[in-house]
């Protein structure tokens, strides 16, 4: 074999190697990102499940029969070999035709995304780690390929080129199309090219290993926190939640459940990665303008008399008709009891709560003492708080938007004055005070939905925490306001469902809704954006009847 052909072989091998290194980086970075964002499904595991789904039955039976309990290991070995082979082919493809290779890598990335999204409980957000990994893999592949001699220089096995230079650099006579090949554009001559390639490949492999190890480490911390959370025994409440009345839910299909299941509860926070707190070391420091400063451990907290209440949380960023609102049963230590123990000094008017990740909220002190069920919550719907919802302890204050009250992963309470201290969102232009505005929401029919003409069931939810809902009215096609039927009310701190029957002919229609609370009357029709203290206005929903 002549040297030229030998070197062509070697270059092809290096391209394959580049593909494999890039694939390793893709998966490593995806795993790291998944651990970092605490995605519900991690890319490699999701891919493994997809792999199982597509493994023919006879092969599965064979694997179980042959490997027994080692069948999972066999799965990952099989998957590893498949990925390696595919990555090698994609590396070689990318070397010869970059675009084709890049399309192949992207397609492989999308297979991982599809695997992740098809797992139970996954949200679209969980696609992010795989996409980040794919971008990293593509970038690394491009950088490595660019360090190989131009593809033109590599004669094919059957018809060795007699004109091109070997691996001594890009050909002057390369066709115009070659300019788009990174190899042609960036190849370095001879040995320095090889060295530079191996440097790039080495860095890629090292980065892949580091990312995978980092993902592992992060994942195991998370698993141990999750395991601790699962094994946590919560005490019975000294004051259980009032018995729920019958008829809390409007008899209309499509109205959201009255009690929001934890996995469906909206999540809003500034935490890039979910804090992983340990109940054994968690402490809450209570200090500032108080007669008695103290520190609570998690065990201290559980020994207090806990209350259990249904409370509807709302985000100030919720647009009119939006879904940044949820209703759960919370178990916690009343903040008025904690403050009674601390004995705030005269002049104090605010409690600044701070989370382990540096978020803070400023809550008016009078609100925490006025008798409402503000609490340091440890459980949500009979479970320890989910990690994303503030495990192990968060604040819940009926009637205030979350940004001024609902600090998750809370570790510090400072009794102070609005004149002295500010908080995360008030520093960014949002109002100091954030009482929740009265709001009626139309859930059925859906916006731009289609219904059959004739009798149409409509329904939704209304809230006015701490005040309650006494009436909801709707107006169809700008007609007179009609009072709807209210479902039962659990408490003034929870939302309330409503429903109504209307009759419409074929065509396009609008339905508007507005709620009344006993303190403030009819909700304002004045349109306001969420900034600086919550959206207002009557929601209007368009739908078509046919």
What residues make contact with Mo ion under the rule CB under 5 A?
A: 268, 315, 402-403
- Residue 265 in contact with ligand MTE, rule: CB under 6 A: yes
**ω into residue 392 within 30 of 0, thus cis?**
yes
- What is the rounded CA–CA span in Å between residue 298 and residue 409? 12
* Residue from 403, 495, 538, 543 in contact with ligand MTE (CB under 6 A): 403
Q: Judged by CB, which is closer to ligand MTE: 98, or 330?
A: 330
- What is the rounded CA–CA span in Å between residue 476 and residue 38? 45
The strands making up 360-364's β-sheet, listed across from edge to edge, are 294-297, 283-288, 410-416, 350-355, 360-364
* Contact criterion met (CB below 8 Å) for 483 and 469: no
Distances (CA, A) of 60 to 111, 142, 397: 21, 37, 53
* Contact criterion met (CB below 8 Å) for 396 and 459: no
CB of 395 to ligand MTE, least distance (A): 8
Q: Which stretch binds ligand MTE (CB under 6 A): 70-78, 111-119, 269-277, 287-295?
A: 269-277
Which of ligand MTE, Mo ion, none does residue 355 bind (CB under 5 to 8 Å by kind)? ligand MTE
**ω into residue 532 within 30 of 0, thus cis?**
yes
**Which residue has the closest beta carbon to ligand MTE?**
402
Q: Judged by CB, which is closer to ligand MTE: 4, or 389?
A: 389
- What is the rounded CA–CA span in Å between residue 154 and residue 439? 70
The DSSP secondary-structure symbol of 425 reads: T
- What is the rounded CA–CA span in Å between residue 486 and residue 504? 22
Which of ligand MTE, Mo ion, none does residue 267 bind (CB under 5 to 8 Å by kind)? ligand MTE
Distance of CA 416 to the CA centre of its chain: 33
- Residue 409 in contact with ligand MTE, rule: CB under 6 A: yes
CB of 222 to ligand MTE, least distance (A): 17
CB of 313 to ligand MTE, least distance (A): 6
CB of 183 to ligand MTE, least distance (A): 47
* Contact criterion met (CB below 8 Å) for 155 and 211: no
The DSSP secondary-structure symbol of 290 reads: B
The DSSP secondary-structure symbol of 173 reads: T
Contacts of ligand MTE in 83-142 (CB under 6 A)? none
Binding track over 271-290 against ligand MTE, x by CB under 6 A: x-------------------
- Residue 399 in contact with ligand MTE, rule: CB under 6 A: no
Q: Judged by CB, which is closer to ligand MTE: 76, or 265?
A: 265
CB of 406 to ligand MTE, least distance (A): 4
Give, to the nearest 10 degrees, the angle between helix 190-231 and helix 128-145. 160
Q: Which stretch binds ligand MTE (CB under 6 A): 162-170, 247-255, 268-276, 331-339?
A: 268-276
Which of Mo ion, ligand MTE, none does residue 512 bind (CB under 5 to 8 Å by kind)? none
CB of 472 to ligand MTE, least distance (A): 24
Task: Kindly report the number of other CB atoms within 10 A of residue 337's CB atom.
Answer: 15
CB of 268 to ligand MTE, least distance (A): 4
- What is the rounded CA–CA span in Å between residue 485 and residue 276? 45
Site size for ligand MTE, by CB under 6 A? 19
* Residue from 152, 310, 389, 496 in contact with ligand MTE (CB under 6 A): 389
- Residue 500 in contact with ligand MTE, rule: CB under 6 A: no
Q: Which stretch binds ligand MTE (CB under 6 A): 262-270, 435-443, 454-462, 473-481?
A: 262-270
Which of ligand MTE, Mo ion, none does residue 391 bind (CB under 5 to 8 Å by kind)? none
CB of 400 to ligand MTE, least distance (A): 10
CB of 342 to ligand MTE, least distance (A): 21
The HSE-up count of residue 242 (CA atoms within 13 Å, CB side) is 12
Contacts of 406 (CB under 8 A, 6+ apart): 313, 361, 394, 395, 396, 397, 400
Q: What is the DSSP string of 15-38?
A: HHHHHHHHHHHHHHHHHHHHHHTT
Q: Judged by CB, which is closer to ligand MTE: 428, or 527?
A: 428
- What is the rounded CA–CA span in Å between residue 48 and residue 108? 14
- Residue 268 in contact with ligand MTE, rule: CB under 6 A: yes
Give, to the nearest 10 degrees, the angle between helix 128-145 and helix 3-36. 160
CB of 300 to ligand MTE, least distance (A): 21
441 beta partners: 461
* Residue from 66, 82, 223, 270 in contact with ligand MTE (CB under 6 A): 270
- Residue 407 in contact with ligand MTE, rule: CB under 6 A: yes
Q: Judged by CB, which is closer to ligand MTE: 218, or 377?
A: 377
Pair of tokens at residue 427: 């520093």
- What is the rounded CA–CA span in Å between residue 29 and residue 34? 8
Q: Which stretch binds ligand MTE (CB under 6 A): 91-99, 248-256, 265-273, 279-287?
A: 265-273
Which of ligand MTE, Mo ion, none does residue 407 bind (CB under 5 to 8 Å by kind)? ligand MTE
* Contact criterion met (CB below 8 Å) for 315 and 401: yes
Give the residues lining the site for ligand MTE (CB under 6 A). 265-271, 313, 315, 355, 357, 359, 389, 402-403, 406-409
């Amino acid at each position: 074999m002549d040297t030229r052909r030998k070197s062509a072989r070697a270059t092809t091998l290096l391209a394959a190697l580049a593909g494999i290194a890039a694939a390793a980086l893709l998966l490593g970075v995806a795993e790291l990102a998944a651990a970092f964002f605490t995605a519900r499904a991690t890319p490699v595991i999701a891919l493994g499940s997809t792999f199982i789904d597509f493994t023919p039955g006879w092969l599965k039976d064979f694997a179980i029969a042959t490997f027994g309990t080692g069948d999972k290991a066999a799965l990952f070995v099989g998957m590893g070999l498949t990925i390696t082979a595919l990555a090698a082919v994609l590396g070689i493809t990318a070397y010869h035709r970059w675009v084709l290779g890049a399309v192949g890598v992207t397609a492989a990335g999308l297979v991982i995304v599809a695997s992740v999204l098809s797992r139970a409980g996954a949200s679209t957000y969980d696609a992010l780690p795989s996409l980040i990994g794919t971008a990293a893999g593509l970038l690394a592949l491009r950088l490595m390929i660019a360090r190989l001699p131009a593809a033109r220089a590599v004669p094919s096995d059957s018809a060795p080129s007699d004109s091109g230079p070997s691996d001594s650099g890009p050909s002057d006579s390369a066709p115009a199309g070659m300019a788009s090949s990174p190899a042609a554009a960036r190849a370095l001559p001879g040995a320095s090219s090889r060295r530079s390639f191996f440097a790039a490949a080495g860095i890629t492999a090292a980065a892949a290993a580091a990312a995978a190890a980092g993902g592992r480490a992060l994942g195991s911390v998370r698993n141990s926190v999750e395991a601790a959370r699962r094994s946590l025994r919560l005490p019975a409440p000294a004051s259980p939640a009032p018995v729920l009345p019958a008829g809390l839910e409007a008899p209309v299909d499509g109205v959201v459940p009255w009690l929001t299941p934890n996995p469906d509860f909206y999540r809003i926070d500034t935490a890039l990665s979910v804090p992983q707190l340990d109940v054994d070391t968690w402490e809450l420091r209570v200090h500032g303008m108080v007669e008695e400063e103290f520190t609570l451990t998690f065990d201290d907290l559980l020994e207090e008399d806990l209350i259990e209440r249904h409370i509807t949380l709302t985000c100030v960023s919720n647009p009119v008709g939006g879904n940044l609102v949820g209703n759960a049963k919370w178990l916690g230590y009343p903040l008025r009891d904690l403050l009674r123990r601390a004995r705030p000094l005269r002049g104090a008017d605010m409690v600044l709560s701070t989370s382990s990740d540096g978020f803070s909220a400023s809550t008016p002190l009078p609100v925490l003492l006025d008798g409402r069920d503000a609490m340091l919550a440890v459980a949500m719907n009979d479970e320890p708080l989910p990690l994303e919802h503030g495990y192990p302890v968060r604040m819940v204050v009926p009637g205030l938007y979350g940004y001024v009250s609902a600090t998750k992963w809370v570790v510090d309470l400072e009794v102070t004055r609005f004149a002295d201290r500010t908080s995360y969102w008030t520093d960014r232009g949002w109002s100091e005070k954030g009482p929740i505005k009265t709001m009626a929401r139309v859930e059925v029919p859906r916006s731009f939905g289609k219904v059959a003409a004739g009798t149409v069931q409509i329904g939704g939810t209304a809230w006015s925490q701490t005040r309650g809902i006494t009436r909801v009215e709707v107006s169809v096609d700008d007609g007179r306001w009609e009072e709807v039927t209210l479902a039962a009310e659990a408490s003034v701190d929870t939302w309330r469902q409503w429903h109504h029957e209307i009759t419409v002919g074929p065509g396009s229609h609008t339905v508007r809704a507005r709620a009344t609370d006993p303190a403030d009357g009819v909700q304002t029709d004045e349109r306001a954006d969420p900034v600086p203290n919550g959206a207002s206005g009557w929601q209007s929903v368009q739908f078509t009847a046919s």
